[in-house]
């Protein structure tokens, strides 16, 4: 089925190991997608939703033990342990391969093996990279169709280029005791067994486009990041592109599809991506970005008319819902959507208000990007878009101001490396604990963080036209535990300041930890944020920040000798500025 010998040999080896009944090469056609949906409807993998209100929409209920990424079962298997770093679980490649071989042996007996050639990024972009996922899950095939450029065109590119990421996936028995997600970055290879859930099973996403791609990006001189991409259009028609990194389930999708407040006449946000961004320095010295994905795999709970009207508008047709609740008339429902009461919870049981949330907190929608009303055609541009600003952000109740700007590239890298956030339901572990999540890549960096920071720092000398770097925090709370900033569409006010800083047409206040807006420079027209609250949102508590800088220092030192000296120097500079303040 392919002219590429390396691909055919691998397929033959996997066939011999896993013993499928059938092999299906995915062509990516609409008919194939329909066939997959019909198959899933007939075997219980899909439940049909109300086809009058939601044509082409289906619900998938995953195994209740298989509802999120599993960081504790995710490994980076480099030949040297130090190359994976303290930020990853590590196994020696031989050991990992032999464990996985035992799991995969005979696992596709009685099943069809699907071969999915896919391209991450526009099919004709030099920034794109291809992969082939082998899976025994038709749910994965259907999702990959929406999330990637999948099928014949991708196969042609793979045959032309001769290189591709090999991803082998089986749902196995969905037994949490027999579940592993292994990455072999040196061989551009992924093996995932025992989970059918998103990030564990749709291998193009976190496994390829972040873990493997981050490793590959370092060797090839580019960046693979956990970032959304938006175009911010101002009333004069100028568009500035912004890439922003936030940890999982911290509002990337909402920000990516934001509708500016009503007093922002003539402003518009264009959506290019909500999760992953690949960037490379162009001939003009600017960073050019593509979104390697073709769809959104977004968190459903909290998505509502008020928080993300564009997302709601794209979810009433041709979407796959995973682990949401259902109303009596068969419509998808989740907490925060509206005040209807669902009939059935995410497990398919009659809804019991005392029995926990109706939709799983990490329930998801999968939908093709072009269905988003704010979708930008530029998402298909082979050359990508030039990035004016990089924004880092975490979920921090205290300490971290609404927005600050770094004074240099290296300072921006320190801001990214020092990021911390309260954990969310996107991973199976405890929720709400503050952890360091550098560049929002803690679960996704395919190599040692110290080397990753060094890679980021290496760009400083590469060009004089790099984006400015900012840090934001939408989640600060007052002493009564209330959010101080309204968030959602109102974040436009902060984005405007960021864009104006990029154009050098607004000033800033220098503080020891970076530049913040003059309080009057963030437009508060139409929102009930008092000037005193704004002042507090931008306030720097010098004493508390001294403690934070100590904690950052300890964190950086936990990477030992590999921590780049330039990052240490930068931290010392900020610590000194705080001591002098």
Positions marked catalytic: 250
Stretch that binds Mn ion, among 22-30, 97-105, 269-277, 458-466 (CB under 5 A): 269-277
Instruction: Check binding of 393 to ligand OXD (CB under 6 A).
Output: no
Q: Around Cβ 118, how many Cβ atoms within 10 Å?
A: 32
Nearest approach, Cβ of residue 416 and Mn ion (Å): 16
Q: Considering CB distances under 5 to 8 angstroms, the limit depending on partner class, which of Mn ion, ligand OXD, none binds residue 111?
A: none
Q: In the complex with Mn ion, which residue's Cβ is closer, 275 or 345?
A: 275
Q: Are 292 and 278 in contact (CB under 8 A)?
A: yes
CA distance 467 to 213: 21
Instruction: Check binding of 442 to ligand OXD (CB under 6 A).
Output: no
Q: Indicate the burial class of 304 (C-beta count within 10 angstroms; 0-12, 13-18, 19 or more).
A: middle
Q: Are 263 and 523 in contact (CB under 8 A)?
A: yes
Q: Are 57 and 319 in contact (CB under 8 A)?
A: yes
Instruction: Check binding of 199 to ligand OXD (CB under 6 A).
Output: yes
Q: Considering CB distances under 5 to 8 angstroms, the limit depending on partner class, which of ligand OXD, Mn ion, none binds residue 241?
A: none
Pattern of binders to Mn ion over 224-253, x per CB under 5 A?
------------------------x-----
CB proximity list for 95: less than 8 A, separation 6 or greater? none
CA distance 308 to 304: 6
Instruction: Check binding of 248 to ligand OXD (CB under 6 A).
Output: yes
Q: Which of 426, 513, 534, 578 is close enough to bind ligand OXD by CB under 6 A? A: 426
Nearest approach, Cβ of residue 246 and Mn ion (Å): 9
Nearest approach, Cβ of residue 276 and Mn ion (Å): 7
Instruction: Check binding of 189 to ligand OXD (CB under 6 A).
Output: no
Nearest approach, Cβ of residue 148 and ligand OXD (Å): 14
Instruction: Check binding of 297 to ligand OXD (CB under 6 A).
Output: yes
Q: In the complex with Mn ion, which residue's Cβ is closer, 10 or 444?
A: 444
CA 174 vs CA 58, 113, 336, 390, 533: distances in Å: 21, 17, 30, 39, 49
Q: In the complex with ligand OXD, which residue's Cβ is closer, 68 or 326?
A: 68
**DSSP states of 128-139:** -EEEEEEES-HH
Q: Which of 136, 189, 225, 275 is close enough to bind Mn ion by CB under 5 A? A: 275
Q: Around Cβ 527, how many Cβ atoms within 10 Å?
A: 15
The encoded tokens of residue 53 equal 């209100």
Instruction: Pick out residues in 471-500 that bind ligand OXD (CB under 6 A).
Output: none
Q: Are 145 and 28 in contact (CB under 8 A)?
A: yes
Beta-bridge mates of residue 282:
none
- List of E strands, 57-128: 58-60, 74-76, 89-90, 112-120
Question: Which residue shows structure tokens 């009057």?
Answer: 520
Instruction: Check binding of 111 to ligand OXD (CB under 6 A).
Output: no
Instruction: Pick out residues in 59-88 that bind ligand OXD (CB under 6 A).
Output: 69
CA distance 373 to 75: 38
Instruction: Pick out residues in 256-275 that bind ligand OXD (CB under 6 A).
Output: 275
Nearest approach, Cβ of residue 439 and ligand OXD (Å): 13
Nearest approach, Cβ of residue 208 and Mn ion (Å): 13
Binding site for Mn ion (CB under 5 A): 248, 275
Binding site for ligand OXD (CB under 6 A): 69, 198-199, 248, 275, 297, 426
């Amino acid at each position: 089925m392919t002219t590429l010998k390396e691909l055919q040999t691998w397929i033959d080896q996997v066939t011999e190991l896993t013993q499928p009944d059938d092999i299906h090469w995915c062509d990516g056609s609409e008919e194939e997608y329909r066939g997959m949906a019909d198959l899933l409807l007939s075997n219980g993998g899909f439940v049909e939703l109300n086809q009058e209100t939601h044509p082409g929409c289906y619900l998938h209920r995953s195994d209740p033990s298989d509802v999120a990424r599993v960081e504790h079962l995710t490994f980076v298997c480099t030949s040297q342990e130090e190359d994976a770093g303290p930020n990853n679980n590590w196994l020696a490649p031989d050991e990992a391969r032999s464990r996985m071989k035992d799991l995969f042996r005979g696992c596709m007996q009685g099943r069809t093996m699907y071969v999915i050639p896919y391209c991450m990024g526009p099919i004709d972009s030099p920034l794109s990279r291809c992969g082939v996922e082998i899976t025994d899950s038709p749910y994965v095939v259907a999702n990959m169709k929406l999330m990637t450029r999948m099928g014949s065109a991708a196969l042609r590119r793979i045959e032309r280029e001769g290189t591709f990421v090999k991803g082998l996936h089986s749902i196995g028995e969905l037994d949490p005791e027999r579940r592993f997600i292994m990455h072999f970055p040196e061989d551009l290879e992924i093996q995932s067994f025992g989970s059918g859930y998103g990030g564990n099973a749709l291998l193009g996403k976190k496994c390829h486009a972040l873990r493997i791609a981050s490793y590959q990006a370092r060797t090839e001189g580019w960046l693979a990041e956990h970032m959304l991409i938006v175009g911010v259009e101002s009333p004069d028609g100028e568009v500035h592109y912004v890439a922003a990194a936030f940890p999982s389930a911290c509002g990337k999708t909402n920000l990516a599809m934001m509708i500016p407040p009503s007093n922002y006449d003539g402003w518009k946000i264009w959506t290019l991506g909500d999760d992953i961004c690949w960037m490379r320095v162009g001939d003009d010295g600017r960073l050019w970005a593509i979104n390697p994905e073709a769809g959104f795999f977004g968190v459903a709970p909290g998505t509502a008319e008020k928080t993300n009207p564009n997302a709601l508008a794209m979810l009433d047709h041709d979407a796959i819902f995973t682990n949401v609740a259902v109303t009596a008339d068969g419509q998808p429902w989740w907490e925060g959507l509206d005040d209807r009461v669902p009939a059935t919870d995410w497990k398919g049981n009659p809804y019991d208000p005392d029995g926990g949330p109706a939709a799983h907190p990490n329930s998801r929608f999968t939908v093709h990007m072009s269905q988003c009303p704010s979708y930008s055609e530029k998402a298909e541009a082979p050359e990508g878009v030039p990035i004016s600003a990089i924004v880092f952000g975490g979920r921090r109740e205290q300490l971290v101001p609404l927005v600050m700007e770094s004074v240099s590239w290296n300072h921006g890298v320190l801001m990214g490396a020092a990021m911390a956030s309260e954990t969310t339901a996107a991973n199976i572990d405890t929720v709400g604990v503050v952890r360091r999540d550098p560049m929002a890549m803690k679960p996704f960096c395919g190599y040692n963080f110290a080397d990753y920071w060094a890679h980021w720092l290496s760009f400083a000398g590469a060009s004089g036209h790099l984006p400015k770097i900012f840090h934001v925090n939408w989640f600060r709370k007052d002493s009564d535990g209330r959010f101080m900033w309204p968030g959602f569409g109102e974040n436009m006010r902060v984005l405007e300041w960021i864009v104006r800083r990029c154009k050098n047409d607004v000033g800033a206040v220098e503080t020891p930890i970076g530049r913040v807006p003059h309080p009057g420079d963030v437009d508060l027209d139409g929102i009930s944020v008092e000037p005193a609250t704004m002042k507090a949102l931008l306030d720097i508590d010098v004493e508390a920040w001294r403690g934070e800088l100590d904690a950052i220092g300890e964190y950086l030192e936990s990477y030992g000798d590999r921590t780049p000296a330039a990052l240490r120097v930068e931290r010392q500079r900020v610590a000194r500025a705080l001591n002098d303040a």
